[in-house]
Amino acid sequence: MKVVTESARAESLEARPAWRTSLPGNAAVQVPFRYLLVYLFLSNWIWFDELAVHPSRPIRPVFDAIFGTLARWTGRHLFHLSGPIKPNSFVDTHYLYLVLLCVAVVSAVITLAWLLADWPGRTVPRVYALMRVWIRYTLAYMVLIYAMDKVFRLQFGFPSLLRLIEPYGDSSPMALMWTFIGYSGFFTVFSGLAEVAGAVLLLFRRTTPLGALTLTVVMANVALMDFCYDVSVKMLALHFLIMSVFLLAHDADRLLNVLAFNRPAPADELGSLVPANASPRTRGVLMVVKVLIVLYTIVPAPIRTYKTFRAVGPFAPRPPLYGLYEVESFTVNGVERPLLITDGSLWRYVVVQAPTEVVAKTMDNTLIKYQAKYDPATRSLLMHRQDAGSPVENLVLSPAAQGSFTVTGQLGASQLAVKLRQVDVSKFILVNRGFHWINEKSYSR
């Protein structure tokens, strides 16, 4: 039995990538590899701390005190930026790029200090093993949050009423992508389930290669779409892809042997962070800790997302007077104004799709947003708007005859009376076309 074990271990060592077996003393491999480990650890906090629930929140003020301060100083003194330099979640702002630059520079300094303290690289395998565990769990946690938003159709919803009346050429590339993905609920849910599968597989050592392979493919697609459609979270998607590739590289040689070179791929040693001489009690405690971490990673995201889904998801109750309304007449101080497409101040549509907001769209496609409150007694929406430099507007949207509605009230010093006709949204081709197994000819317009 011992001979078989030693033979299997030798085969496993042969299957390891070259950079893992030649790491000690090889500067060409050690320097970039150590730098990658440091950079991934530091940059991971940018994304993880923003998404994680309570346990990691104390890190945020510390991280911002160090890298936020460095980023602002760099922006002011090296790039001479003016205006506020502040975070905006994961959006690709100046602040985010400056933070990433500072993380990259600090990573180089830490790498140099690490090289000086341990040139032979005795600590590298241990640090690498710890980093793999850290990346596995944090990446799984973060991907699951985004995956749940897709599974419950919160990230990509069916085209809204405003989107249906927007000129095709006026949509941004990002909005165009959101529209065509959100149109198909099946595609949205399927892509979310693919992310769920990859994330869950990362939580266990035996299935990590399959999880890393799944997420590498999925995140490559996500990152490519973000770059090609100018989505404003390119760096987040890119770093998710980098972390997925980092985990996949561990088994790169074995995967290539099977998928490309038609060669056998001996089993790899899974290894363990638990010392071999650990007592059964210690192993039991560590197992309980792992179970708790896995539950913390898997359970909260679906619960939080499901609650949001119930409140604002695609099957949530619609607000009162929900609908798309087209203007039939527009009267100011008793004088009816002709509905000319060249008169940019005139309303063309009124949209009610949120409980506390009404949007008026003018002839020149300007959106005017009103705060709204429903009055059950009159079955009307009370609309209010007061912007700096604009007159106070207090209006009421009320049902009139069947399919007809009115907006009346005060527009500054003027009295406004607008007659509306509800639009049958089901007549939009994008809404009613549906799916067809059989097409005698292509239908594209």
d(CA 309, CA 202): 26
pLDDT(390) > 80: no
Work out how many domains the chain is built from and give that number. 2
Q: Quick check: is 15 in a domain?
A: yes
Q: What is the largest CA-CA distance in the chain?
A: 100
**Does residue 86 share a domain with residue 63?**
yes
pLDDT(5) > 50: no
pLDDT(20) > 70: no
Q: Quick check: is 443 in a domain?
A: no
User: Across the strands, what pairs with 347?
Assistant: 362
**Does residue 383 share a domain with residue 299?**
no
pLDDT tens digits, one per residue of 370-384: 999 999 999 999 999
Say what the pLDDT of residue 12 is.
Answer: 44
DSSP per-residue letters across 277-309: T--HHHHHHHHHHHHHHHHHHHSHHHHHHHHHH
Classify 324 as helix, strand or coil.
strand
Classify 440 as helix, strand or coil.
coil
What's the whole-number average pLDDT of the chain? 89
Say what the pLDDT of residue 23 is.
Answer: 55
pLDDT tens digits, one per residue of 306-359: 999 998 899 999 999 999 999 999 999 999 999 999 998 899 999 999 999 999
d(CA 298, CA 305): 12
**Does residue 268 share a domain with residue 331?**
no
Host H or E run for residue 336: strand 335-337
The answer, as to whether pTM is greater than 0.85, is yes
Burial of residue 331 (CB within 10 Å: 0-12, 13-18, 19+) is: middle
d(CA 391, CA 411): 7
pLDDT tens digits, one per residue of 411-429: 878 899 999 999 999 999 9
**Does residue 172 share a domain with residue 288?**
yes
d(CA 358, CA 272): 58
Q: Quick check: is 432 in a domain?
A: no
Do 142 and 240 touch, CB atoms closer than 8 A?
yes
Share of the chain above pLDDT 70, in %: 92
**Does residue 132 share a domain with residue 11?**
yes
**Does residue 364 share a domain with residue 254?**
no
Q: Quick check: is 313 in a domain?
A: no
**Does residue 368 share a domain with residue 225?**
no
Domain limits at 252? 2-308
Helix pair angle (300-312, 124-151), 10° resolution: 20
Do 35 and 110 touch, CB atoms closer than 8 A?
no
Q: Which two tokens stand for residue 110?
A: 């830490």
**Does residue 327 share a domain with residue 304?**
no
Residue type, 349: Y
DSSP per-residue letters across 27-82: HHHHHHHHHHHHHHHHHHHHHHHHH--GGGTTHHHHHIIIIIHHHHHHHHHTS---
Quickly state the pLDDT bin for 55 (edges 50, 70, 90): low
**Does residue 350 share a domain with residue 302?**
no
CATH number at residue 355: 2.40.128
pLDDT tens digits, one per residue of 202-250: 999 999 999 999 999 999 999 999 999 999 999 999 999 999 999 999 9
**Does residue 256 share a domain with residue 221?**
yes
Q: Which two tokens stand for residue 313?
A: 């998801």
Quickly state the pLDDT bin for 199 (edges 50, 70, 90): very high
Q: Quick check: is 317 in a domain?
A: no
Say what the pLDDT of residue 26 is.
Answer: 67
pLDDT tens digits, one per residue of 267-298: 887 777 777 777 888 888 888 988 988 898 89
Burial of residue 78 (CB within 10 Å: 0-12, 13-18, 19+) is: exposed
Q: Is 269 left (phi over 0), alpha (psi -120 to 50) or beta?
A: beta
Host H or E run for residue 358: strand 357-362
Total number of residues shown for the chain: 445
**Does residue 128 share a domain with residue 12?**
yes
| Main-chain dihedrals φ then ψ at residue 299, nearest 5 degrees | -75, -50
| Range 73-98 average pLDDT | 93
Neighbours of 21 (CB within 10 A): 12
**What is the per-residue burial (b if ≥16 Cβ within 10 Å, else e) of 332-352?**
eeeeeeeeeeeeeebbbbbbb
Neighbours of 282 (CB within 10 A): 12
Q: Quick check: is 354 in a domain?
A: yes
Q: Quick check: is 316 in a domain?
A: no
d(CA 262, CA 343): 70
Q: Quick check: is 259 in a domain?
A: yes
**Does residue 188 share a domain with residue 85?**
yes
Residue type, 278: A
DSSP per-residue letters across 393-433: EEEEEEE-STTEEEEEEEETTEEEEEEEEE--GGGSHHHH-
d(CA 111, CA 114): 5
Burial of residue 54 (CB within 10 Å: 0-12, 13-18, 19+) is: exposed
| Main-chain dihedrals φ then ψ at residue 307, nearest 5 degrees | -60, -45
